[in-house]
Structure 1
Amino acid sequence: MTDFSDLGELFAFVSGHAPFDGLPDDVRARLVADSTVCEFTEDAVIMDGMSASPDHAFVVLSGRVGLWNFPNLAAGDQGDVDEVVGPGGVFGYVVILVGAKGGPRAVALTDVTLLQLPAWAVGDMFSTPAGVTFLASELAKPATAPSEEESRERTAGEIVRRAPVTCPPTATVREAATAMTDAKSGYIVVQNDAGEPLGIVTDHDLRARVISVGRPVSDAVSAVMTAPLAAVPESALSSDVLIEMLDRKLHYMAVLDEHASVRGVVQDVDFLTVPTTSTFALQRRIERATPQELPEIGGTIREIFPVLTRQQAPVRHVSGVAAVAIEGMVRRCIELELPVHPELREGDFTWLSLGSVSRREVVPSSDVDSAIILKDEPGASEERIEERRDAALALAAAVHTRLEECGIPSDTNGAVAALPRFCRTESEWLYAASEWIEAPLSNNAMMMASLLVDGRPVWGDLTLQPVAGVYQHLSEHPRSFVLMLREALTAKARIRSMKDVISLRGGTFDIKAHALVPVVNIARWAALSRGSTKLQTRNRLAAGADSPVLPDDSAEVLRDCFSILERIRMDHQVEQMAAGREPTDVLSIRRMPSLDRGLLEQCVREVAAVQRRMANLAQYLDAGEW
């Protein structure tokens, strides 16, 4: 029988079980030394996450523990146990990470010996690659089916757990830090006497802006706060908030009520109660990855699609999380390649993500489109400009090579920063955009403009979007305005033969080319026609709605159809992955579920009808009516 009082045997035990087996030896040794071995008799309640927020997580050393994960099954005589944990099993970590009630209730099914983990271990453990892998595998396991209410996507307001910790801008750094400590909070919101939020100070801010630089703690807290305050309305969907936090690398996000007052603050661990528990940890893993670790991480990103689809996460959420992870990989590859190209410095260029990644509409078959904006150097010689361009092209080629080694392919049509056409100085991009908007039929102007207005800066100056800036004024250029509308309506929504579809003789159907691209093109033009720089198709349709050519009801039809088509496409590609096939956009009509086949037919009909109405209305309008 194992003697768990012996640290050597205890170390050997945890070394043989996930996620501890992936921890460095020194971290594992510290964990064992700081942990406590405890024993419980049969039927003893070990923890009750339904009524309180426990301070510890546990590892089962011997015996069996029963877990009840839902409030209505919080006692053994109220229903069957949801999960039985045996030796090596870990429980209670979700409650610790979330910091709120919500399960599980753990009861000893036999006499058990447990390892009580120290508080520091829980957060640190799940920030490691081993912890991320463990969380992903746990999330992929089937769970007891939640009720309709439990499966409903929650809003930001529903995730808020408590009132915000606040202070006035005149408070000192010492006073703010004391208030944070007393409230056991990692942040404090700075607001004026009227309750208007001015900014936020986090633990990280205190370390970076006070402790590390020796700033006096008697200084006003307003001198070290991050402003303006990152915030979302309480009605925002949790999935959208999560993606924005990932996108902006935020650990805290304020939630505003209907009066624009701070109702509370959500942080990354709050999303452990919604899908994609490990997304923040995955981002941290990418940021620290060595070149040797990147291919494995690429495989993890690919698993986002089936794992989150099984969790019934909204498609926009699955796509958004994958897109943010891909862009994280791009940034990490740039960081690894920069030292190899001494002709370039960190601030010399901006990397743009294009296409479905920038629009946050990624599926398993998506590839990576990119462009580079080189910073202008006033007075630089032509030789110097070309030297920097050559270095940027070489860097871009190396970045895309690394991405491909990670299973993240480059655009097959050549829209990549490794080609001179997509690697220009800021002034060159501005000049090109001005030419495109004045002469939309020359030099593939509309195709290039469509690609570049989708640009999202992910490295360098994140405000730099010269082409999008020019096309914000599209309505001031009547010829280009009308021609781009016609171009947007060129890709027709169509199924080869509705009769064939109904009779199950439909053959195949390219859902991207003949259903989704028409909506994406209309949405892009609609947003540009209103001077909007929004990128996601749904947001673009909302920005361009209620116009002479795209009435609000038509925009709503396109939004609904887009959501349905996205879901059909994602399900199809995830099924292909599960079958070991390369995911594609080509559907077999005969093999589609009858409900999806009917929805597909209806959506294509609706999109085609909107296209016809827009084309008819456009004949009687000119840009001056916008």
Structure 2
Amino acid sequence: MGDIAGFLHAHPPFEALDADELAALAAVAELEEHPAGATILPKGGPPVTHVRVVHTGAVEIVLDGRVLDLLGPGELFGHASMLSGLPLGFAAVAVGTTTCLRLPADAVRPVLGMPAGLRYVARSLLSSALAGPAGADDGSASSAQRPVGELLRAPLVFAAPALSIRETAQRMTASGASAVVVPLRDGRVGILTDRDLRRVIAEGTDTAAPVSAAMSAPAWTVAADRLGGEVLLDMLDRGVRHVPVLDATGQVLGVLTDVDVVAATTRSSFGLRAAIARAGSVPELVAAAAELTPTVIALHDARVAATDIAGITSVVVDALTRRLIELVAPGPPPRPLTWLALGSLARREAVPSSDVDSALVWAGDGQGRADNAAEYAHALAEQVLSGLAACGFRADANGAVATNKLFARSYDGWVAAARSWLADPTQERAPILVSLAVDARPVWGVRAAPAVADVFRDARRHPDLLRLLGRYALAHRPPTGFLRDFVVEHTGRRRGKLDLKRGGLVPIVDLARWAGMAAGVTSASTPARLRAAAAAGTLDPGPAATLEEAFHLVLQLRLAHQVEQLRAGEEPDDLVRPADLSPVTRVSLREAFRTVATVQRRIDRELQLGVR
């Protein structure tokens, strides 16, 4: 038993257990031997009642004849089925003579419910080099790649700040909720959880006191389109178990709990370990990043939606960025600092050809204090962008990078620039800079700092800016000039080819950004912006829905084209020959382009009339 306890203690998530807990677990462990090629766990079998830990040898995780993962000593498998109560979504097969430790579910379940266990589940699915197919046999997508707005389960309960703690607790009990949301006067919210109530009782607080005396405020909130795995990691890092989820207009949709995410995560197929998180050097990080190409190919072959694959790609780049900052930062920053993703990465719409748009923001006024915040930011950005390039993610060639002074400012500097663009949108490059800044999403750094993109929430009060952004959104027209064919390039390497990004996606992305800003929405995905615009009336529901359909179609075609290039060892791009597309695809693409063109013409007329 001592040998078994020592073995388990050397591997996550068991390393967090104390000696007595390890001894108890070792006492119920059974050592089993499997010959080469033996199926240890069959796909579609009943829910697992015992999980396994590879002791010697190796185990392949197989789906429909394709190997998804190769597990070595210390690797845990079967826990997803055990936690969810669902049939296995894969088969586990011994590679050579293999021994496993067989652990009862009742003994392992409490381990996975501990913070270290929750972190193990989250990181194994989110930060892995390969997330695996996004659905188990029940067809549900992996919550690591699902928006948290789709994971909400608990009823939403509100309480006024003046309501007593006792009445608030009664309201929570009656509804079966473990948290209550308290609206605040400034538009933000507070939150009271069951853990807060336990503290109230322990401290002897008068339960007749208002709930505002016991709540946490302002509560940390997340947008509904953030991915479940990433939010779970943030929750674990912050030590919180509840977080209010906001829709694109800032309204509370519900309260997410860590159990919501883990419960949904365990319904997904098994993923690899957190290769990025454990990289101890830049070369190790480069080696981990090299697995993204086969990951994208495997996910595409598994028919995972293009939006999900784009989300996974964006999450991987986020993880690489954070780990690079940890590895290369030249000491602690002189002022609190935040790294921002811009462009497709910020919208979680990255594909293999996407470059890295980035920015930096630090606390303060940037008025030449002696702390050298700007110099530090520039040195950090150079190192991080160099590391990302080594990992295969090149910096934006047009200068939207954190080493450019235009994209590295103090928070006050960003606010001043944004307000100047709002006041005078005719400034040189103002539409481009606004379009980039409004996409900005924090990746690393200060959590409580105001978001740069939030400066543009009142864009509706600046009709000149919106009108100019509307015209900017109309600058890219889809290639619908020929009745029987597409407009293609006529010179150079683009001759005879159609640009899916410039001709297909960019017009939709720009329209969605403009319409979203008109609806008061800043940083968000393109589909989320379109839905918010339809809800707010800045786009009619019909055109908004058809634009969203067109977005999904073009993104899927773009990704499929790049996957074939990756298979062939070619550099991915956005140029396709219309003749290489199937007749059905050509018809669908032509209709999508015509839909976008129709919406553009309608908006063009309205802008000329001053309607919007």
- TM-score, normalised on structure 2? 0.69
Structure 1 residue corresponding to 2:533, chosen from 535, 539, 544: 544
| 1:580 partner SS | coil
Asked if 1 retains the 8 angstrom alpha-carbon contact of 2:321 and 2:384, the reply is yes
Contact 1:351 1:457 in 2 (8 A): yes
State the one-letter code of the partner of 1:102: P
Q: In the alignment, is residue 116 of structure 1 matched against residue 91 of structure 2?
A: no
Letter in 2 for 1:577: L
Percent identity between the aligned chains?
28
CA 1:160–1:421: 2 relative to 1, 3 Å:
closer
- Tell me what 1:601 maps to: 590
Match of 1:440 among 419, 425, 450: 425
Which residue does the alignment assign to 2:350? Answer: 362
- Offset, 1:448: 1.0
Contact 2:243 2:257 in 1 (8 A): yes
SS in 1 for 2:528: helix
Contact 2:306-2:555 within 8 A present in 1 as well:
yes
1:552, distance to aligned residue in structure 2 (A): 2.0
Alpha-carbon separation, structure 1, partners of 2:41 and 2:455 = 63
Tell me which amino acid in the other structure corresponds to 2:571: E
Following the alignment from structure 2 to structure 1, what is the Cα–Cα distance between the partners of residues 466 and 304? 38
Deviations 1:143-190 (A, max 9, x none): 9x95xx6468999899799999xxxx989xxxxxxxxxxxxxxxx935
2:534/2:544 contact within 8 Å kept = yes
Alpha carbons of 1:271 and 1:307: their partners in 2 closer, same or farther (altered >3 Å)?
farther
Measure the CA separation in 2 of the matches of 1:157 and 1:414.
34
Matched AA of 1:305: V
Structure 2 Cα separation of the partners of residues 455 and 440 of structure 1: 19
1:265-276 map, 5 Å? 266-275=259-268
Tell me which of 314, 317, 320 is aligned to 2:305: 314
- The offset of 1:606, in angstroms, is 0.8
| Distance across 1 between alignment mates of 2:61 and 2:300 | 28
Call closer, same or farther: CA 1:526–1:390 in 2, change over 3 Å: same
- Which of 324, 335, 345 pairs up with 1:333? 324
Higher relative contact order (CA 8 A, sep 6+): 2
Report the equivalent of 2:581.
592
Residue in structure 2 matched with residue 174 of structure 1 by the alignment: none
Name the residue aligned to 1:176: none
- 1:483-520, Cα deviation, whole Å (9 max, x unpaired): 221111111111564524599x9931111100100011
- The separation in 1 between residues aligned to 2:424 and 2:149, in whole angstroms, is 48
Matches within 5 A, 1:41-190: 54-57=49-52, 92-96=78-82, 98-103=83-88, 115-117=101-103, 119=107, 132=124, 150=139, 189-190=178-179
Match of 2:416 in 1: 431
- Comparing 428-437 with 596-605, which one deviates more in the overlay? 428-437
Residue by residue over 1:530-565, the C-alpha shift from the partner in whole angstroms, topping out at 9 and shown as x without a partner, is 222242111111222267773221111111111111
Preserved CA contact (<8 Å) 1:489 1:522: yes
Shift of 1:348: 2.6
CA deviation map 1:449-489 (0-9, x unaligned): 11111111223344656753443333333332322211111
1:36 and 2:30 equivalent? yes
User: 1:535 is paired with a residue of what secondary structure?
Assistant: coil
Are residues 39 and 227 of structure 1, via their aligned partners in 2, closer, same or farther at CA, if it must alter by over 3 Å?
farther
- 1:101-134: per-residue Cα shift (whole Å, max 9, x none)? 424899999xx986424755995899789x9599
Query: CA 1:94–1:480 in structure 2 vs 1: closer, same or farther (change >3 Å)?
Result: closer
Asked whether the equivalents of residues 359 and 454 of structure 1 are also in contact (C-alpha less than 8 Å), the reply is: yes
SS of structure 2 residue aligned to 1:316: helix
What's 1:181 paired with? none
Q: Distance in 1 between matches of 2:276 and 2:101?
A: 31
The number of equivalent residue pairs is: 541
* Cα deviation digits, residues 418-466 of structure 1 (max 9, x gap): 1112112223222222222233232211111111111112233446567
The partner residue of 1:410 within 395, 411, 432 is 395
Question: Following TM superposition, by how much is the alpha carbon of 1:394 offset from its aligned partner in structure 2, in angstroms?
Answer: 1.1
Q: Which residue of 2 aligns with 1:298?
A: 289
RMSD of the alignment, in Å? 5.7
Conservation of the 8 A alpha-carbon contact between 2:561 and 2:576: yes
Change (3 A) 1:219 1:54: farther
Q: Per the alignment, do residues 578 and 20 of structure 1 end up closer, same or farther by CA in structure 2, a change over 3 Å counting?
A: farther
C-alpha distance 6-134 of structure 1, shift in aligned 2 (>3 A): farther
The structure-2 alpha-carbon separation of the partners of 1:598 and 1:502, relative to structure 1 and needing over 3 Å to count, comes to farther
| Structure-2 separation of matches of 1:242 and 1:108 | 27
Q: Distance in 2 between matches of 1:326 and 1:86?
A: 24
In 2, Cα distance between the equivalents of 1:132 and 1:50?
23
Bigger mean CA offset, 362-371 vs 312-321: 312-321
Q: Which residue pairs with 2:184 in the alignment?
A: none
SS of the residue 2:425 aligns to: coil
1:350 to partner: Cα distance: 2.3
SS of residue matched to 1:363 = coil
Letter in 2 for 1:429: W
**CA separation of 1:128/1:581 partners in 2, compared to 1, >3 Å: closer, same or farther?**
farther
Aligned to 1:278: 271
1:368 Cα shift?
1.2
- TM normalised by structure 1 equals 0.68
Describe the SS at the equivalent of 1:545.
helix
- Residue 532 in structure 1 maps to residue 527 in structure 2: no
What is the DSSP-based 3-state SS (H/G/I as helix, E as strand, rest coil) of the residue aligned with 1:415?
A: coil
Matched residue, 1:613: 602
Shift of 1:44: 14
Indicate if the aligned counterparts of 1:549 and 1:614 stay in contact, CA closer than 8 A: no
State the SS of the aligned residue for 2:370: helix
SS in 2 for 1:582: coil
Measure the CA separation in 1 of the matches of 2:72 and 2:378: 54
Amino acid corresponding to residue 319 of structure 1 in structure 2: A
| SS at structure 2 position matched to 1:559 | helix
1:225–1:278: structure 2 CA closer, same or farther, 3 Å change rule? farther
Separation of aligned partners in 1, 2:154 and 2:309: 28
Q: How far apart, in 2, do the equivalents of 1:37 and 1:540 lie?
A: 54
| 1:261 Cα deviation after fit | 8.5
The 8 Å contact of residues 130 and 292 in structure 2, kept in 1 or not, is answered as: no
Label 1:507 to 1:228 Cα distance change in 2 as closer, same or farther (>3 A).
Answer: same
Aligned pairs (5 A) from 1:257-268: 266-268=259-261
Q: Is the 8 A contact 1:353 1:457 kept in 2?
A: yes
Rate the CA distance shift 1:261–1:514 in 2: closer, same or farther, 3 A: closer
- 1:515 aligned residue (501, 504, 516): 504
Structure-2 residue corresponding to 1:419: 404
Gap change, CA 1:433 and 1:216, over 3 Å in 2: same
The unaligned stretches of length 5 or more in structure 2 are 157-163, 167-176, 182-188, 246-251
Which letter does structure 1 place at the counterpart of 2:404?
L
Contact kept? 1:457, 1:464, Cα under 8 Å:
no
Which ranges of structure 1 fall in alignment gaps of 5 or more residues?
A: 71-81, 172-187
Structure 2 CA distance for aligned equivalents of residues 86 and 423 of structure 1: 43
Contact 1:368 1:408 in 2 (8 A): yes
Deviation of 1:357 (Å) = 0.7
Change (3 A) 1:569 1:253: farther
What amino acid sits opposite 1:529 in the alignment?
A
Q: Distance in 2 between matches of 1:516 and 1:66?
A: 36
